[in-house]
Structure 1
Amino acid sequence: MTDLEQRAAVYRPLVQHEMRAVVGDRREPLFAWMRYHLGWEEPDGRSVEAPRGKMLRPVALLLATELCGGDARAAVPAAAAVELVHNFSLLHDDVEDASERRHHRPTLWTFAGAAQAINTGDGMYTVARLAMYRLLDSGVAVDSVLAAMSELDAACLRLVAGQQLDIAFEQRRDVTPEEYLEMTAGKSAAMFAAPFAIGALLAGAAPPVVDAFRRYGLHVGLAFQAVDDVLGIWGDTEVTGKPVGDDLASRKMSYPVVAALSRGGDEAALLARAYAEPPGAGDDIERLTGLVVATGGLEATEGLAREHQAAALEALRDAGLSAEVIEVCSAYANAAVGRVA
């Protein structure tokens, strides 16, 4: 195992334990649905260990804490809060996108209803807020706790602002690459920037170092979303849990499509004409995929991911961080950007 893998293998159980402590075992549907969404229970209440993501965001927070000389265990409540915030956004996202499956399981709204899924997301956001207070029990100074809470709250606001833009883009076919990057800087990258900044902050790092980790996380998040957009069209169904070309079938304005349409030409015009038609069972997804490739949409998106991955590491170098820190952060960026799910 690499150094990053060894660290993450220690972090994840700590975060899971803290999340379970915060969510609790109350039997009311609100809490049972939280546990279902988090992969801990079946709809009938039976315990289960369902597939879930790599917990990249809480790993980011604890990694930054250690790399800045802090105690990762003292920062675990904040890491749990970050993961709970991420999952509150997924609960809402599943409703807003009408997504029926996540991690190969039915999404909550498909059996509890949209209103209850939204309310469960609201509950999970509140639980995340309560988790941050548990930093005080870990011996973290009040001023540091308040600063960490402010960082996370600001990120949440950027997240929902980005989601508003993403929803609005569903009604447009003239989204520019610049507008798309503004949207994803909020919807996706904010929840990479904040964990890295919070981790550095809780370790007592100087403001320029905190800012460097924030900028690193922002660029990693932008690269992460670019890769996610590639997977939304070309990803393996067995890995992503979604059909090949799912983003094209739903007419999502992901970056490959935005970049393709912005380049003009005959193929772009054909793609624009296809996107103007409502989704249907007779869609030729293979043809749409070919148009995105022919117009350079795939190439542009892969280039965007590489660009921001490089910018992430440059932010750390500019702050004068050590080669050892940059090496571990490079491994994290590779894990986030080079992932397959």
Structure 2
Amino acid sequence: MEVIDILKKYSTIVDEEIDKSLNTVDPEKLQKASEHLIKAGGKKIRPALVILTCQAVGGNVEEALKTAAAVELIHTFSLIHDDIMDEDNMRRGKPSVHVLWGEPMAILAGDTLFSKAFETILETRIDGVSYERVVGTLKTVVDSCTKICEGQAFDMCFEGNFDVAEEEYMQMIYMKTGALIAAATKSGAIVGGGSPEQVEALAEYGRLIGLAFQIQDDYLDVVSDEQDIGKPVGSDVVEGKMTLMVVNALSKASPEDKTELISILNAKSDTNVARAIELFEKYDSINYTHNISLQNVERAKKLLDVVDDSPAKEALLKMADFMLERNH
């Protein structure tokens, strides 16, 4: 089964669980705002990882379903608030929540999703999962929420700071993107009854593929065409964003090239994107970025030795590769 088929397989049942969680929200305007991005689509990678890691340690889909839904609710909450902070007017091909309902209602919609996520995890007890596993899952997801906020704050602090070290950048993207993916794989292992060794290994698997996921975005921004990624090539350069490619190139560049690259990033214009990409190529930063993603995925796949061979393990191996194979 291909990754897209795996994601579709679980997307329907996760959406049903999310619907149950949100159908009690009032007033109707808040409910519609809360549901908007979920109904707009999305790959549902994170909930699929919850279910697959649960199955990989011997658990079943029913045990993982509410946690899977909760993780997607957290992810959607973060997207709504991101769009407000970044003033992004489109998401998943549709107008952003704040564009349709205004910023105050969008903030409330995000807060509603955030609250409903924890309520949904607590309801896992209804499915016969032990109190200890529910608490372990809840602690894992709560911790990831704190990290998402910290990562977003670091990202904002990095704006205009061109002295960010690679280690600092990697920590930021782990918090902002990797932490929730790691929480998905760790909570799946916990709710499925995995051993401490399995829980730790699957959490690290999630961290590594989460890093690969974000770094691949950096890479695709300069090597894909506009149609594939759904935004102009080099848009990260135009926005003056710190990416692994930028961090690496600045660390290697001559004083003249460093000054030029910083000038291009500060200009926030599309006129010098081609020149920025030339500088990335000059210092081999494009290949470097891709190789870091590749290394993380290979390390992640080795960690799956901690579970027995099964269809779920096979799917997790494919999910790791998918982080590099996707083109958007």
* Greater per-residue helix proportion: 2
Q: Which residue of 2 aligns with 1:337?
A: 324
Q: CA deviation at 1:268?
A: 3.5
Is residue 37 from structure 1 mapped to residue 37 from structure 2 by the alignment? yes
Change beyond 3 A, Cα 1:73–1:168: same
Is the partner of 1:173 in helix, strand or coil? coil
For 2:297, which of 292, 309, 327 is the aligned residue? 309
Counterpart CA distance in 1 for 2:203 and 2:252 is 32
Once the two structures are superposed, the pairs formed by residues 104-115 of structure 1 within 5 Å of their partners are 104-115=93-104
Counterpart CA distance in 2 for 1:231 and 1:101 is 19
One-letter amino acid of the structure 2 residue matched with residue 125 of structure 1: F
Q: Which residue of 1 aligns with 2:308?
A: 322
Whether contact under 8 Å (1:267, 1:294) holds in the other structure is: no
Change beyond 3 A, Cα 1:216–1:30: same
Which structure would you say has the larger RCO, counting Cα contacts within 8 Å and 6 or more residues apart? Answer: 2
Is the partner of 1:209 in helix, strand or coil? helix
What RMSD, in angstroms, separates the aligned Cα atoms of the two structures? 1.9
Whether contact under 8 Å (2:264, 2:272) holds in the other structure is: no
Q: CA deviation at 1:112?
A: 2.9
One-letter amino acid of the structure 1 residue matched with residue 47 of structure 2: P
Q: Which residue of 2 aligns with 1:21?
A: 20
One-letter amino acid of the structure 2 residue matched with residue 340 of structure 1: N
Q: What fraction of aligned residue pairs are identical, expressed as a percent?
A: 29
Flag structure 1 segments of 5+ consecutive residues without an equivalent.
40-49
Is residue 270 from structure 1 mapped to residue 260 from structure 2 by the alignment? yes
Whether contact under 8 Å (1:102, 1:241) holds in the other structure is: no
Aligned length: 325
Is residue 185 from structure 1 mapped to residue 174 from structure 2 by the alignment? yes
Whether contact under 8 Å (1:15, 1:80) holds in the other structure is: yes
Is the partner of 1:135 in helix, strand or coil? helix
Is the partner of 1:291 in helix, strand or coil? helix
Counterpart CA distance in 1 for 2:6 and 2:129 is 21
Change beyond 3 A, Cα 1:98–1:295: farther
Flag structure 2 segments of 5+ consecutive residues without an equivalent.
none
Q: Which residue of 2 aligns with 1:45?
A: none
Once the two structures are superposed, the pairs formed by residues 93-172 of structure 1 within 5 Å of their partners are 93-172=82-161
Q: CA deviation at 1:316?
A: 2.9
Q: CA deviation at 1:272?
A: 1.7
Change beyond 3 A, Cα 1:163–1:115: same
Whether contact under 8 Å (1:256, 1:298) holds in the other structure is: yes
Question: Normalising by the residue count of structure 1, what TM-score does the alignment of the two structures yield?
Answer: 0.89
Q: Which residue of 2 aligns with 1:57?
A: 46
Counterpart CA distance in 2 for 1:166 and 1:228 is 15
